[in-house]
Each structure stands twice: as structure tokens, then as C-alpha cells.
Structure 1
């Protein structure tokens, strides 16, 4: 249900992914091994400027994610909020 939205985030918004072309997808939206191999080769091209930028952005996203799960990161705030709700604390 959410694959389209997640795909758009990764490819269009975050710019850290590639989308398979229609020709690389077979019956009923199944991805071919050739399609996957082609994308992997594109990602592995260390000289391509677009892929260099993708890798740079991916490193930034990784840094943000590590910060979120670190002690004092935003995930602690979210977890505390969820615990509070699930335990039924009243204010």
C-alpha cells in the first residue's frame, strides 16, 4: 500500500534511489534480475556525478538516522511518548 509513497520519497524527494524503467519490469510488476543488475551497475559507477551526489546525500541521511537513535536523540522522545500513551498515564 505504501510502496508508491516510499518510492517517491526515496527517488524524488531524497534523491538517493533510482526507479526501474517499465521495460525492466515483467508480468504483474515483478522485477527481473537483469533490471536489478542494471541498477546495481549504475550505482557502482564511481565516476558518474549524479551517483556521487546520491552517495553524498545518503551519507547525510545516515548521519541524521544515527543521531536520531543516539542517546538523547529524537527516537527517545518518540519512544517515551509511545510508552506514556500505552501505559495510560493521565495528566
Structure 2
């Protein structure tokens, strides 16, 4: 399964990229599975996507939670919460 992952704001700066193609193996994968895989990269990935960090995830532009399924070919965005001003 191939998905596009987009990173915004602080995450884009820390990871040094704004978009990447990620290949996931298996079926019935969820947002939690994707995040676990990204954390498994270690370093800043594990730090910035740690379970105690605050960030949001959207699947095809719809806010998602950890149980949201990730179908093949979707776009997943990961971003810190934003404040108005």
C-alpha cells in the first residue's frame, strides 16, 4: 500500500521534508499503525511523534483519530495544532 504523507509547520522543519511517499505492508492499517512505523525510524521521528506530543492527523483532509483506517492511495497530513491570532 502506498500513501502520501504531508508534514506541516514544526514537523516539516524538524524532519526536513514536507511530503513523502510511504509504503505500508499489511491490510486494515490505521493511523496508529502509520505513526508507530514513523516513530520506529528513531531520532527526531520518535521524539516529535511521541504519544505525549500534541499533533493532529488528517486522512484525505478529514481529521482522524488513531483508529481511523488508512486505505491505499490516500493522503495523510500530520501537523501541530494551530492557534489563531
| TM superposition score normalised by structure 2 | 0.25
- The structure with the largest helix share of the pair is 1
- The structure with the largest strand share of the pair is 2
More relative contact order, 1 or 2 (CA 8 Å, 6+ apart)? 2
